[in-house]
């Protein structure tokens, strides 16, 4: 059995995973997942406290696992990890005040991907050495 992560502070990885989850309609089809994800998004947008967000993330993580998604909410296969990225790559980053660590490849000729948490397009920029 996989243990759920401990959400003690506003977790940027959880926000990135939530953004990726909201952008994946097939993952939202299971009963209860869409509602929990939308509630988490609303709390994140409203600037809710760390405890309230942690509780909501835990509920969403549990709903995902009960629906058969062993990754839960926070896992390296969903969200912000981008192995092999070098500093000269153009990326799209979270645009809103509730920033997540989601990073997507940004191609110059295409619009930036949609950020499901903040309801707008992500911002394009260059990946820095600290990222």
Domain positions in the chain are 12-66
Query: For the chain, give me the number of helices (H) and strands (E)?
Result: 3, 5
Quote the crossing angle between the two packed helices 50-66 and 12-22, to the nearest 10°: 50
Query: Which residue reads 């835990």 in tokens?
Result: 58
| CB-based contact 114:25 (threshold 8 Å) | no
d(CA 73, CA 54): 12
**pLDDT tens across the length of the chain (131 residues):** 444 444 444 577 888 888 888 888 888 888 889 999 999 999 988 988 888 998 999 999 999 888 888 778 876 556 554 455 444 567 888 887 777 778 887 777 688 888 888 888 888 887 655 55
């Amino acid at each position: 059995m996989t243990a759920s992560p401990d959400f003690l502070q506003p977790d940027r990885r959880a926000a990135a995973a939530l953004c990726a989850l909201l952008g994946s309609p097939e993952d939202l089809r299971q009963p209860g997942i869409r509602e929990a994800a939308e509630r988490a998004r609303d709390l994140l947008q409203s600037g809710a406290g760390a405890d309230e967000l942690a509780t909501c993330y835990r509920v969403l993580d549990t709903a995902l696992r009960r629906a058969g998604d062993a990754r839960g909410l926070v896992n390296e296969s969903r969200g912000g990890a981008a192995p092999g990225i070098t500093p000269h790559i153009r990326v799209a980053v979270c645009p809103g005040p509730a920033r997540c660590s989601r990073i997507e490849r940004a191609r110059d000729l295409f619009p930036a991907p949609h950020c499901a948490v903040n309801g707008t397009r992500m911002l394009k920029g260059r990946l820095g050495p600290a990222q």
